[in-house]
Amino acid sequence: MPGVHHIEVWVADLSVAQAEWGWLLRAVGFEQTSQWADGETWRADDGPYLTLTTSPNLSRRDHDRRAPGVNHLAFLGGSRDDVDAVMAAAPEQRWRPLYQERYPFAGGPSHYAGWLENSAGFKAEIVADEE
């Protein structure tokens, strides 16, 4: 059966990632399903899971979303009001809103979404349900 099984995000500072990503993942309906000394796993319903972990094999301590590789992760955010609530609360959780001058239609006139960047430079997109 095709599909995504899981996504693993390597982080340089696990405690900061746990606070920032933990808030965002809870806000979009994920629950933490496991935790260990070097990481944790989050899942929404029976879908793919996301793991945050650190590794002694990191080649660098910073993340550059503009380099080749994954640019951002996009999450289903619920209703437009739900997306607005996440975007409004994000700065208090160390997530910086991106493209605010075009929010909520930075992705086009029929794509209601907000983009955020955390303190490590990871970008996340929160997408509203289609109306």
What residue type is assigned to position 39 of the chain?
Answer: G
Give a yes or no: residue 86 inside a domain.
Answer: yes
Tally of domains within the chain = 1
Give a yes or no: residue 44 inside a domain.
Answer: yes
Q: Can you list the alpha helix ranges (DSSP code H) found in 2-127?
A: 14-27, 80-89
The tens digit of pLDDT for each residue in 16-45 reads 999 999 999 999 999 999 999 999 999 999
| 49: confidence class by pLDDT, cuts 50, 70, 90 | very high
Predicted TM-score of the model (pTM): 0.94
The tens digit of pLDDT for each residue in 71-103 reads 999 999 999 999 999 999 999 999 999 999 999
Give a yes or no: residue 53 inside a domain.
Answer: yes
**Residue 42, CB half-sphere, CA atoms under 13 Å: how many?**
21
User: How confident is the model at residue 115, as a pLDDT?
Assistant: 98
Give a yes or no: residue 61 inside a domain.
Answer: yes
Give a yes or no: residue 1 inside a domain.
Answer: no
Supply the CATH number for residue 58's domain.
Answer: 3.10.180.10
Domain residue limits at 53: 6-128
User: How confident is the model at residue 1, as a pLDDT?
Assistant: 73
Percent of the chain clearing pLDDT 90 (strictly above)? 86
| 62: confidence class by pLDDT, cuts 50, 70, 90 | confident
